[in-house]
Structures are given as C-alpha cells and as structure tokens.
DNA sequence: TGTACATCAGTGAACGCGCGTTCACTGATGTAC
DNA sequence: TGTACATCAGTGAACGCGCGTTCACTGATGTAC
C-alpha cells in the first residue's frame, strides 16, 4: 500500500452508499423475507440455509456474504421484529385518554399483528421453541417491555403508591394477557372477523378485570393477606 | 385356515398379555422416552426418526413397528403429557378449602412441573411451534381445561350468577396465568430456589389480583361499562 | 475525463453426511393339535 | 407334554436426496491517479 505523505486518502464514499452496497442490502432483505415466509408454518430449528437462499433467488453460498449462520439471521429477524413492537408500544403510550386506554391498547395490538403478522408469528413460535440464543433474546426483550410498562403504570393516580414489586407483578399479568391475545390472533384463521371480535372482547374484559382488581388491591382482600390468600 | 365346526377357536390369550407383547410395549415406551429427552432442547420439527431410534437402542426401521411417522409419535406424546396434566387438575380440584385454593393450586402446578419436567417442556415448546397437528391437539386440550375451570368457578358463591361468557373469560385469564407460570418454571434454571420462589410469589399475587377483580366485577367499575372501560 | 487496478457480491462444482424409506431376513415367542 | 407351523418385533443392507460447507471463479462496481 502506497501512502502519499499526510494525505488522508479519504476520497472513499461513506459506507452505506453506492450501487453495490445498496444491492447487497437488498439481497440481505430478500434473505430475511424468505426466512420469515418459510417460518410461517415451521419452526426456526427446521429451517435450512439452502431453502432460505432458494427463496431469496440466490445461490446457497451467497448466504455467507450476509450471515455467518442461520442463527445470526434468526437474531437479525428478532431485532427487526422488536423494532416493530417498540413502534407499537410508542404508539400505545402516546394515547392520552385514560378511560380508553384498554380499548385503545388492544386495538393497537390487533392492528399491528395484522400489519406484521409474519413478525409476530415468528416471535410467538420462537419464544419457547428450539434455538436457545433466540429464546433468550426474545425473553430479554419481553422482560424489558414488562419493566417499561411497570414504570408507565406508576403514573396512574391509583397506583402511585404501589411498591415496585407489585407494579412488576401487575405489569407481568398485563403483558401475559397481551401476549396471549397476540398468540390467539396469530393462530386464528385469517380474515374471520367473528373469531377475532371474540378474542378482542375477551382481551378487553380480561384487562378490565385486572384493572378492577388493581382498584381493590390492598383494601379489598382484607388486611394482611394481600399476597396470596 | 381349517375351522373345526362350531368351535370358537379362542384359546388365544387376550391381546395385551404375553412376553412378546410386553416387550413391544417396553420398546414403544423407550422410543417415546428417547423422543422426549431429545426434545428437551429442540423442537419437534427438527427431530429425526433415526435419532429417536438410536436413543431407544433400536434400529431405525424398528420405529415403524410402533408408529407410522414421527408425527404419530408426537400425538402419542401429547396424549401422555395431558394424562399427567389431567391427574394434576384432579388433585387441584379435590382441595376443599377455598381460602387456600390459590396457594394450593400454584403449589400443585409447581410440583407437577418438577415431576414431569420433560412433558411440560414438550407441551410448552410445541404449543405454538412447528407441526400443525400437534399445535391443534394441544390447543384443543387447553380449551377443554378452560371450560372445565369455568364450570368449577361457578361453584364459588360470589360467581354463581355470572354469565357463562364472563366465567369463560375469567377462566381464560387464570389458565393463561397458570400456563405462563409453568413456562417460567420450565425455562428457569433447574434447582434455583430463589428464582422459583419469585415465580411462585408472582403467580400467587397475580391470581389474587384476579380474584379481587372478580369480587369487584359488575359493581366496582360502575354501571354499564363493565366490558372495556 | 480515461485508464489500470482492487474489491467483493454472487456463482457453480464438489465433498461427505445423516436422513426417511424399501426390502428380504431372522429367530424368539405364540398357537394348534 | 411334544411337535410342527405361524406370527411378528427387530435386523441390516441399500437407495436416492437435501443438507452445510469448501473452494476457486467471474464480472460488475468502486477507487486511484
């Protein structure tokens, strides 16, 4: 390599521009899309590199230009999926009318599941299944959501004086309910408004039941036995 | 075949006895055990017939003497697992002291998860993952549990006048919470009493919160808006 | 701007391997008499 | 009880196939001057 004195030799275009790089990104996206579509009715552990490449219209060895292994692709899919989920939560959080918070939250969940069905299906599938690295990544993200929700809950006047522990417990219950709802919608037959309306109705009433429980917490179950009757 | 007049020709031992049949059952059990152990850290979709046979100490072709396919073995595993679960529920139901019903139910769940960890892991893994036939079989069983729980709930004096719909909704919330608890225990590191105590404590408090909500249902949230505030 | 060289995304042949499934078989167990 | 035959759980060889991974390559794009 010849260097020319102090010349910084930085005529180089910033990485991330240029025709070649742009095409590479497009192929990478095609690989991820291909995997996501194959995962619609299979688990990640049964996915093969060759299938994914085939689905992306690329030769198997080209896969290695983008990912070191299928596991790395799986982690990239988790990142992508949770970017979607975080956008969803931001939207849910911006809703300022407390009386509608339950109805609105479920509505937002449902519309996001519809818009990103493959992402949700992937997450739901891999949450307990197969590859340990994916499972742990997903669990960490969901735990993060739960903590954020606990923080949000504290802003409700009724819950202002709750212990952090109790808020985490309640947030866990809400997240479980939301996750189960998402699972139900993802597993439900596509475009069946009746089944879906029932799922949505159940979710809303379950969350309402939880809210009612929260209102009565510490006072209703009687003194001294608020942790497990 | 020579038949001898009206002679019933039934010196045949009843099927299910005899040395040969008994050995066959033992091999079948070994195949199921082998599969269950392999599934401890993998999903069913990635299981191979040859692995299962190897684990059972038998040649691959012997597999076909017992199951037509790995899917059939999967369904047999689901049957076996839910036989365990039903025994658990029967035990939980026989507990006659209503004040302890939550603590006792969680205790029973935890001890059964410990005793049948592989069964629970298998069910949790396959509930959303991979093979459609297994997924549907598991979903049907869980739906059955929910309905049975709804029936049981009606016996509580406070819930006697609830609509079937509301009881189903509440049962769904309880089952979700129990399933999430089982998932958490199955995923938790083995023999870590602190982590487990936290999971158990959360579950008990979540169920208590639900019970408190049920006590305030219809009355607490105010007239006319009990379905989703 | 034009030329010579470097980079690198995608190619295609080749490999050894474990897979599911078929088939004819073996020999212990079961049954008929 | 003893003998001859039937059953059938488990065997072992063989097949064609898709897999992950290696390697040397090609040719369009990018860079230096």
DSSP string, B122-133: HHHHHTTSS-HH
Q: Is the CB of A71 under 7 A from strand D?
A: no
Q: Pick the closest to residue B137 from B184, B75, B180 (CA basis).
A: B75
Mean of the per-residue pLDDT values of chain B? 89
Q: Which tokens go with B155?
A: 């016996």
**Sign of the C-alpha dihedral, residues A146, A152, A154, A159?**
negative
Alpha carbons B192 and B178: distance in angstroms, whole number: 20
A97 or B183, greater pLDDT: B183
pLDDT value at residue A61:
98
The answer to whether residue B138 scores a pLDDT higher than 80 is yes
In this complex, do B169 and A205 lie within 8 Å of one another by their Cβ atoms? yes
Name the nucleotide nearest A2; use CA and C1'. Answer: D32
Name the nucleotide nearest B20; use CA and C1'. Answer: C29
pLDDT value at residue B4:
34
Q: What is the pLDDT of residues B155-181, one digit of tens each?
A: 999 999 999 999 999 999 999 999 999
3-state class of B204 per DSSP? helix
pLDDT value at residue B114:
96
- DSSP letter string over B81-138? HHHHHHHHHHHHHT---GGGHHHHHHHHHHHHHHHTHHHHHHHHHHTTSS-HHHHHHH
pLDDT value at residue A225:
41
Mean pLDDT computed over A58-65: 98
The answer to whether residue B123 scores a pLDDT higher than 70 is yes
3-state class of B218 per DSSP? coil
Q: Closest Cα of chain B to A94: distance in Å? A: 18
Confidence band (pLDDT; 50, 70, 90) for A36? very high
3-state class of B16 per DSSP? coil
Range of lowest pLDDT (A189-203, B107-121, B136-150, B213-227) = B213-227
Mean pLDDT computed over A8-20: 59
Give the rounded percent of residues in chain A with a pLDDT score beyond 70. Answer: 88
Kindly report the pTM of this predicted structure. Answer: 0.89
pLDDT value at residue A65:
98
The answer to whether residue A137 scores a pLDDT higher than 90 is yes
Instruction: Count CB-CB contacts under 10 A for residue B151.
Output: 12
Least CB–CB distance from B228: residue in A103, A127, A173: A103
Instruction: Count CB-CB contacts under 10 A for residue B207.
Output: 24
Residue A194 contacts B where some CB pair is shorter than 8 Å: no
């Amino acid at each position: 390599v010849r260097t020319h004195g102090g010349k910084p030799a930085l005529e180089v275009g910033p990485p991330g521009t240029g025709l070649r790089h742009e095409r590479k990104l497009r192929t990478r996206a095609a690989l991820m899309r291909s995997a996501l579509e194959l995962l619609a009715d299979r688990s990640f552990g049964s996915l093969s590199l060759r299938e994914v490449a085939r689905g992306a219209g690329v030769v198997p060895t080209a896969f290695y230009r983008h990912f070191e292994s299928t596991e790395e692709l799986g982690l990239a899919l988790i990142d992508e999926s949770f970017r979607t989920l975080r956008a969803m939560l931001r939207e849910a959080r911006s809703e300022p009318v407390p009386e509608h918070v339950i109805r609105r939250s479920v509505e937002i969940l449902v519309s996001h599941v519809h818009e990103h069905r493959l992402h949700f299906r992937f997450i739901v599938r891999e949450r307990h299944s197969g590859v340990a690295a994916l499972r742990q990544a997903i669990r960490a993200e969901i735990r993060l959501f739960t903590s954020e929700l606990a923080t949000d809950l504290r802003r409700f006047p009724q819950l202002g004086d709750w212990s952090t522990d109790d808020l985490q417990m309640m947030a866990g219950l809400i997240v479980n309910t939301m996750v189960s709802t998402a699972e139900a919608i993802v597993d439900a037959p596509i475009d069946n408004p009746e089944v879906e309306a029932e799922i949505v109705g159940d979710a809303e009433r379950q969350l309402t039941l939880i809210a009612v429980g929260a209102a009565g917490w510490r006072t209703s179950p009687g003194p001294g036995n608020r942790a497990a009757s």
